[in-house]
Structure 1
Amino acid sequence: MMNAGFTELLLGLLAILLIVAAVIDVRTLTISNGLNATVALLAPVYWWSIGLPWWPDAAVHVAVAAGVFVILAMTFYMGMMGGGDVKLAAAIALWFQPITTLKFLVIMSLAGGLLTLIVLAIHKKRGKPPVEGEAEPARPEVPYGVAIAAGALWILAQRFLNQFA
C-alpha cells in the first residue's frame, strides 16, 4: 500500500458517498449521475493509493464493473431496478477485487430482498388507494440504492473489523 492514511481516507469518502446515495434514493427514488461519476472516478485514485498495477489488475476491475453494468442493465430494462442503481453498483465494482465484487453482489441481493419485503409490508399496511383514473393501486417502489449501499458498506466494514480479529 503506497499511503495507508490516504487509502483509508478514500474508503471513508466512499462510505460517505454510499450513505448519501442511500438517503437520496429513499427521499427521491433517484441516484444522480454526478454521484455515480464521483464514485467511479475516485476508483482509479484508490487503485493508485494501493499500488494496483494498471495492467492487468486495473483492467480486470474495469472489465468486472462493465460485466456488472451489463447484467444489471437487464434488470433495468425489465423494470426491476433504476438506472442510477445500475450505475452505482457498477461504479462500486471498480473498487473491489473480482471475488469481493461477487460477495458484494450477493450481500446486495440479500439486502435488496429484505428491503423489498419491508417496502411491500409498509405498502400493504398503508393500503394506498388507486391513483385517480387507475384501476389498481400504485406499485410500491423500492429504493434499491439502500441495498446497494448496505452491500458495499458491509464489505468496507469487514476491511476495518478484520484488523481486530
Structure 2
Amino acid sequence: MGTHGLWGFIIASRRYACFSCYDSYPVGLGADVVKFILSLEPEDYEEMAELVDDITWLSEARAESKPPVEIQEKYVKLGFADAPAGDATFGSWSDLLHKRENAVVLPMIQTGELMHMVDSSTFLHHSWCLWAYFIDFEQKKLETWEHSARKPDEITFDDLIKCGLEGYLARFKYTRS
C-alpha cells in the first residue's frame, strides 16, 4: 500500500497541490522537494514564483474533461504520458498528466515545459493524506504537513540551506539509510 500525500505550492497565500499515491514520507517525496529547493540559487526563487503562478491549475472536476489535441501531443513528447495507441487521444487531463504525480517534474516547471496541473489540495485534510509539502517561493519557505498535525512545520529556505537534507529529515525523526 502506498503512502498517500500531496506536494505543491503556495501562490498568493493559496495552496495548490498534486496528489501522490506512494512514497510521500519525508525520505521519499519530502527529500525530492528539499533537494530541488537546495539545487536552486537564491536568484531563482523569484523566477520560480512567476513560473508556478503561470501554471493552469485544473480542478478535479475539470481534470476529467478532454484536453486539446495540441496539448496532448506536447505533453506526450515531453514524456508526461505514453502515446495512446493508433489514432486514439487522451480522454481526460488526469490521464494525460498521470506521470506528473511526484516532485520529479519540478525541473520541468523550472524550464516552463509543464504548464498544467491537477489541483488536489482538498485531499490535505483527508484521513489518507499522510504527508504534504508546499513550497512558497514568494515567502521563501517550505511547509511540511504530517497527518496528525494541526498545523504545518515551516522552514525558511535560508534555514533549509543551513541544515541541509539531513537536518530537514531529522526534524521528522527520519534519516537517509
Same fold by TM-score, threshold 0.5 exceeded? no
TM-score, length of structure 2 as denominator length: 0.30
Higher strand share: 2
Higher helix share: 1
TM-score, length of structure 1 as denominator length: 0.31
Larger radius of gyration: 1
